[in-house]
């Protein structure tokens, strides 16, 4: 009897549980009540950690993919790093390349550095988040360089002062403008009427377009004036330019190919090609024609680095001049340079460099062919400051 009652109670409970909608299924979870955050895909960003905080200040915390990127760009590998760790990590805004000499990666006389990566397809959405105070004119750097070629085995010497600065608009950093001025003091030779001073000035406009993760493009034009100050005819005006394509072969290797348009009397254009190889933080090999450079870092501490390097340069230019008899002509000087240099880099502050070199294959020639000569070999001393 008792067993029958017990079985009846158990059967009734099971039937109630089976037929009750409230017990047959769980209530669905309540929808999220927090505000939706601004979402940006996890690709490299133009902005530092502090700038991201400003961007997302009115939208709540940044989305998870941006937080992951912040860990990666700050050098903190652990996904469990705290906000304090992120804020303490050294960060800086992405910069784009400019043209400079073999003196350094971006130094003042025309050396081509491989560009840094920043994906162009996502540039618009990133710039839309940029704080207003970051959207004006940004002075990237200013550079002053003095180069001296003493007379050597001949009585012909050249001293050159080069001054330039690079700027861009914060809302469009892929386009950079570099006004420049060069002043050349010449002495001798007595065999021809070389003017005592030559000038060149112009504005280089450079654009950098990352096309994909592997491919990028660097192009530019530079309307310029090359003169002795007396001949200001159409001979003095010249357009220069360059177009280079880059392929990221691997994490340590980048390949470049293109051309450099000089517009000189002796050389209209040059092919440009080579390999940029950086196996570690201490070695940089830029096997790039026409300006190769191999550097080795000998010191690094507290944001300061010291480098020694070997480099090559193709020197000279063409200028419109007035001859001693009053006739208009075009003077062209060229040489080849082997350089050894030392550079100190104080990050975010300044760079300075000193170089010495051997100069050979020197040639002075005129468009008229009158007064051409070959000065002898000489040395070179250069000092520069970039800030």
| Domain harbouring 344, CATH code | 2.40.160
The pLDDT of residue 243 is above 80:
yes
Range of the domain at 87: 37-93
Does residue 130 share a domain with residue 250? Answer: yes
Q: Considering the domain boundaries, does residue 132 fall inside one?
A: yes
* Dihedrals phi, psi of 264, to nearest 5 degrees: -75, 160
The pLDDT of residue 53 is above 90:
no
Q: Considering the domain boundaries, does residue 21 fall inside one?
A: no
- Residues near 309 by beta carbon (within 8 Å), at least 6 away in sequence: 102, 293, 294, 295, 296, 340, 341, 342, 343
Q: What's the rounded mean pLDDT across residues 176-186?
A: 97
Does residue 169 share a domain with residue 81? Answer: no
Does residue 126 share a domain with residue 51? Answer: no
pLDDT digits (tens, 9 = 90+) for 91-147: 443 333 334 433 334 333 333 344 443 444 455 566 666 676 677 899 999 999 999
Structurally, the chain folds into a number of domains equal to: 2
Does residue 295 share a domain with residue 177? Answer: yes
Q: Considering the domain boundaries, does residue 251 fall inside one?
A: yes
- Quote the percentage of the chain above a pLDDT of 90: 59
Q: Considering the domain boundaries, does residue 195 fall inside one?
A: yes
Does residue 276 share a domain with residue 154? Answer: yes
- Local structure of 64: helix, strand or coil: helix
pLDDT digits (tens, 9 = 90+) for 313-359: 999 999 999 999 999 999 999 999 999 999 999 987 899 999 999 99
Does residue 212 share a domain with residue 79? Answer: no
Does residue 112 share a domain with residue 48? Answer: no
The pLDDT of residue 73 is above 70:
no
Average pLDDT, the chain: 77
CB 339 within 8 A of CB 313: yes
Taking the C-alpha atoms of residue 144 and residue 141, their distance in angstroms, rounded to an integer, is 10
- Quote the percentage of the chain above a pLDDT of 70: 66
The tokens for 197 are 């001073």
Q: Considering the domain boundaries, does residue 14 fall inside one?
A: no
Does residue 353 share a domain with residue 298? Answer: yes
Q: Considering the domain boundaries, does residue 73 fall inside one?
A: yes
- Local structure of 296: helix, strand or coil: strand
Given this model, what pLDDT does residue 55 score?
Answer: 37
Name the more confident of 369 and 117: 369
The pLDDT of residue 185 is above 90:
yes
Q: Considering the domain boundaries, does residue 222 fall inside one?
A: yes
Given this model, what pLDDT does residue 330 score?
Answer: 97
Last residue in a domain, options 75, 93, 111: 93
Q: What is the dihedral of CA 250, 252, 255, 256, to 10 degrees?
A: 130
Last residue in a domain, options 93, 126, 160: 93
Start-to-end C-alpha separation, the chain: 101
Q: How confident is the model at residue 171 (pLDDT cuts 50, 70, 90)?
A: confident
């Amino acid at each position: 009897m008792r067993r029958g009652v017990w079985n009846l109670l158990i059967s009734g409970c099971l039937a109630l549980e089976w037929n009750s909608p409230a017990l047959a299924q769980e209530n669905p979870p309540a929808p999220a009540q927090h505000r939706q955050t601004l979402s940006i895909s996890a690709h490299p960003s133009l902005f530092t950690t502090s700038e991201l905080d400003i961007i997302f200040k009115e939208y709540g915390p940044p989305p998870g993919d941006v937080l992951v990127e912040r860990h990666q760009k700050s050098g903190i590998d652990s996904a469990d790093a705290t906000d304090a760790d992120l804020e303490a990590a050294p960060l800086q805004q992405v910069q784009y390349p400019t043209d400079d000499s073999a003196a350094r990666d971006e130094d003042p006389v025309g050396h081509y550095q491989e560009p840094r990566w920043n994906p162009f397809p996502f540039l618009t959405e990133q710039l839309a988040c940029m704080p207003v105070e970051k959207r004006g004119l940004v002075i990237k750097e200013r550079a002053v360089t003095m180069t001296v070629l003493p007379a050597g085995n001949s009585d012909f010497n050249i001293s050159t002062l080069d001054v330039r600065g690079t700027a861009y608009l914060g809302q469009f950093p892929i386009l950079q403008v570099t006004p420049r001025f060069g002043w050349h003091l010449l002495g001798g030779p007595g065999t021809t009427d070389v003017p005592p001073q030559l000038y060149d000035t112009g504005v280089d406009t450079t654009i950098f377009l990352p096309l994909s993760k592997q491919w990028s493009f660097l192009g530019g034009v530079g309307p310029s004036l090359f003169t002795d100050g007396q001949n200001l005819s159409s001979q003095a005006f010249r357009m220069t330019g360059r177009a280079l394509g880059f392929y990221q072969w691997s994490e340590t290797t980048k390949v470049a190919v293109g051309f450099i348009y000089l517009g000189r009397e002796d050389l209209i254009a040059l092919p440009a090609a080579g390999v940029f190889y950086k196996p570690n933080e201490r070695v940089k090999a830029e096997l790039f024609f026409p300006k190769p450079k191999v550097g080795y870092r000998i010191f690094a501490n507290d944001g300061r680095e010291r480098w020694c390097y070997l480099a090559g340069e193709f020197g000279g230019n063409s200028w419109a001049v007035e001859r001693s008899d009053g006739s208009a002509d075009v003077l062209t000087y060229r040489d080849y340079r082997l350089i050894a240099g030392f550079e100190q880099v104080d990050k975010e502050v300044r760079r300075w460099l000193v170089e010495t070199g051997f100069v050979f294959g020197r040639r002075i020639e005129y468009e008229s062919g009158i007064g051409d000569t070959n000065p002898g070999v000489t040395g070179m001393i250069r000092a520069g400051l970039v800030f």
